[in-house]
Structures are given as structure tokens and as C-alpha cells.
A and B are shown apart, each in its own frame.
Chain A
């Protein structure tokens, strides 16, 4: 088990390296310099600025500096907000995005797992058709459609929930629903499919042949095996939730990291866009590592290999 964890940990290194190198090369392959504004800049000021951002050094030296800074978790200064470091912006924005994303994922799991199980157990009955039709609809309605529609229904036509901003828990209801619905649909479908597959496997017949109660058969034999695909979905799921939070924060005016990201992208704030991409990249890679190790722990066959 320890060897397995260490092996996975070592596997992260090339991924991180590729992430860092790819982003670095992208920045330097990009046409134009971030210093190119609407008006031409006096040569002297330009030289000063280039020196300040080390743009005048050879590429390999810049790469070394870049790696060194990231190793120290220092993403540099924002081009746009002159006095604010990217680190500060991440420190302000990420907790907010984490709360919205975390609750959304939790919402998807807490509702989706039981729903998928019910659909599987009642396969080809009314409950199954309702759950499957509903989840197919859920997958087909993007968060940037669901969000505005919810604002119309719950904030404009009725004054039930605040349309945006951050305050009490009421502010989280619509963003979490808008972001979580699609993953709820995914989790439901995944859970249904895997439960049906496990229920068909011979070892479940063995468990029944042993005279165990249906409860024990389900909790001890079916559930752990059926949950495995959902566990492996957590990695890409978390990445997708972080991505989705970019839109949802935009719709509901939530001051999270995703909103900074879009503003930075629209304003071509190179360092901020790069910093957030790197930060999310590292977060997602580390999260995948945790999920991998968790999976290996849950499925004895994986670690054994």
C-alpha cells in the first residue's frame, strides 16, 4: 500500500513538469507582449518594465526563474492590478470558489448516489425512467442556461432568493444548484450503471446463496463495488466543477477565483491567467493523486498489481 502510494506520487512529477513547461512555452510563443497597449510606449519605460518583469533575459534563464518561483508557490504580480500579487488574488478568491464547488459536488453525491441506486434496483420501472429521463435532461441543460433561468424564476418574478453577491446561505442556493445539477445527473447515471452491473455479478449470487439478509448483501457486497466508478469520477468531476464555477461565479456575481480568471482573460492579464491556470492545474493534479490512492485503498486488486 505504501509502495503503491509512493509510486503514484512519483507519477505526478512528469504531469507537473509538462503542465509547467507547456504553460511557459505558451506564454513565450504568444504573439505580442503583454506590454503592448493601445498606445506605443516610450522605449525607456518599456525597457524598465521589461527589466522589472525579466522579459529581457534569455529564455532558459526565464524558465529557471519561473520554475523557482513556482516551487516557492510565488505566481508573481498581476499586470492589471499593479499592486496586487497573483498570490493575494488566489488567497481571496479560492476559498469562495472552493465553497461553491465543494457544496455543488457534495449536493451531486448526496442526491445522485441514492437516486442511482433506486433507479438500478427499480430497473425499467417508472422510478427508473423518471430518474434516467431527468438525468439526461440535467446533462443537457448547461449551468449558464440553468443559472439565468433560476434567477428569472426565483429572484426576478418571485423575491425568494438573492440574485447574486455573497451574504448568507441563501446566496449559495442558486449557484450550487446551477453548478451541481449536471454532476448530479452524471453521478446518478454512473451509480445506476455500476449498481446494475454489480447486481448481475456472480459474487452477488454467492452472497444470496449464503442466506444473507438483503440489507447485508447490499451494504457489504453491492455498495462498495458499485461506488468505485463514482470514486474514480471524483477526479475529473472536481476539475469540471472548478471549470464550471468560472461561469457560475460570472452569472451570480460571486467574487471567486473563476471571476478573476474571466476578467483577466478578457483583459489579457497574462500573469493572472497563467497563475490561476497553474494553481488550478496543481490543485487538480494533487486531487487526482488523492483519488487514485483512495481508489487503490478501496479496490484491493489495484494496489496488488
Chain B
């Protein structure tokens, strides 16, 4: 495997030395481009108190193209589908090489706090969300409790 670009090495070091509250990202031992990520659900959102597992992969062209990020924990959210794929502009066309792993994970955390049913990825969830927001939030809370709570 090709040597790791300095940018990835430095980003990883800075993630360790200056971690973001509520977010962890640990590179895998056998592939330093693959990260195991956890994101805490933001307070005052249906995902509060949940800890969500994600995987993040830095493709060969990184930072000229966006990292690939996916939820591993089941989550009820209009912009995240059954497979954990995330609909977020900065992960696609609006990616900028000046963004980093840290900023992307913060954007995902912000997306949990501000679901956008008008630009859905999971259509059924988005429909529920639009029809009866209260009920949808209830389900999201239930799922958080069921799938995203730390096992002690």
C-alpha cells in the first residue's frame, strides 16, 4: 500500500491531541484510512443520549474528494437510509478540500439536530416526518433508546 499522505497523518494526530467533544474517530490498525467513529446524539434532539457508531473511509483522492461515511447504528432519520447512507451536501458536490474529518463529523452531528425531510434519502421516514412530526420524533427516540444506547 502506498505511503499515507502527510495530511492524513496530521489530521489523525490532531484528532487525538485535540478531540472534538461528543465525537471520537479511531483509525483502524490494519488500514489507517479507515476510521471507527462514534457521534453522540445532540442534546434537545430525538437522538439525545444516544451514541451512534459510524464508519469513515478516506478514498485515494482524499482530500480532493469527500470521505465516505456511513452509519452503522440503526437510526430513524429522514436523511439517513436503512443502509446508513447519509444525504448531506458536503459529502457530495459541496465537498471542499479545506474541510476535514473533524468538520465533516460535526456536520453530521448537526444533521442529527436538524433533520431535513424536504430533501429526503429515506422516503418513508421523510413522509412520516412530514405527516406527523410528533409521532416521527417519538419513533426516533424509541430507536435511539433501542439501538443507540451504550451497553454497560
A-B interaction:
no
Q: Which residues of A contact B (CB under 8 A)?
A: none
Q: Which residues of B contact A (CB under 8 A)?
A: none
